[in-house]
Amino acid sequence: MKKVILVDKDGNQIGEEEKQKAHLEGKLHSAFSILIFNSKKELLIHKRERSKYHSGGLWTNTVCSHPKPGEKIEDAVNRRLKEEMGLTAKLTEIGKFTYKTQIKDLIEHEIDHIFIGFSDELPKPDSKEIEEYKYISIKELKKNMHNNPNKYTYWFKIIINNYEKDIHTFINSKNDN
C-alpha cells in the first residue's frame, strides 16, 4: 500500500495516509514535479500511461510523484527520476505551490515542489508510468497548451503559466549546458 505525507498549509508533516484515500478525501499532501531540459534548452515531457488512476493519457512534466513517508524530498526526486525516466541529474528546487482540483472522483490537493535540472542522457521510461515522451521548447509548449489545454495535466499548466520566468532564469544561467 503506497502512502503519502500529509502536510499542513505551511508544508509541515502532520501524518501519512494511503495514497488513494488521500486523493479520494482531498487531504493536503506533499508532491513534486521535475522539469528536465536538454542542452538545446528543450523540456522533456511525457504522456501519462492511460491506465493511471488519474490524468491518464495527458501530457505532463518530466516526472511527477510523491515522497514516501520518512523520505526527504531531495532523495525522492532523485529516486523517481531514475525509476520513471532512467535519468540522473543535479536537481534544484525553484518554487512550490498549493493547488486543489477535482479530477473525476478524486481531489488533487497538494503542495507541489518544482525541481529543475539538465540531462542529455537518453531516457529509459518505465512503461507502467509513461506512454510516450518528447522534447519541446517552452515557446512551442505554451502555444500547444493554449490551443489544446485538455491534453495537459492541471498542475503542469500551473507550472508553465506561473513559473515561466523562473524556468527561463534557471536554464539561461547554465552556460555550460
Q: What is the pLDDT of residues 106-152, one digit of tens each?
A: 999 999 999 999 999 999 999 888 999 999 999 999 999 999 999 99
Domain assignment of residue 145, yes or no: yes
Output the pTM of the full model: 0.93
Domain assignment of residue 143, yes or no: yes
Q: Provide the domain limits for residue 114.
A: 3-172
**Residue of 64, 108, 121, 131 marked catalytic:** 64
Domain assignment of residue 177, yes or no: no
Q: Angle 164-172/138-147 helices, nearest 10 degrees?
A: 160
Domain assignment of residue 72, yes or no: yes
Total domain count, the chain: 1
Q: What is the pLDDT of residues 149-163, one digit of tens each?
A: 999 999 999 999 999
Has 129 been annotated as catalytic? no
Has 108 been annotated as catalytic? no
Grid coordinates given for 42:
528543450
Domain assignment of residue 119, yes or no: yes
Return the CATH number at 73: 3.90.79.10
Return the C-alpha torsion angle 51, 55, 58, 61, nearest 10. Answer: -110
**Residue of 25, 49, 74, 110 marked catalytic:** 110
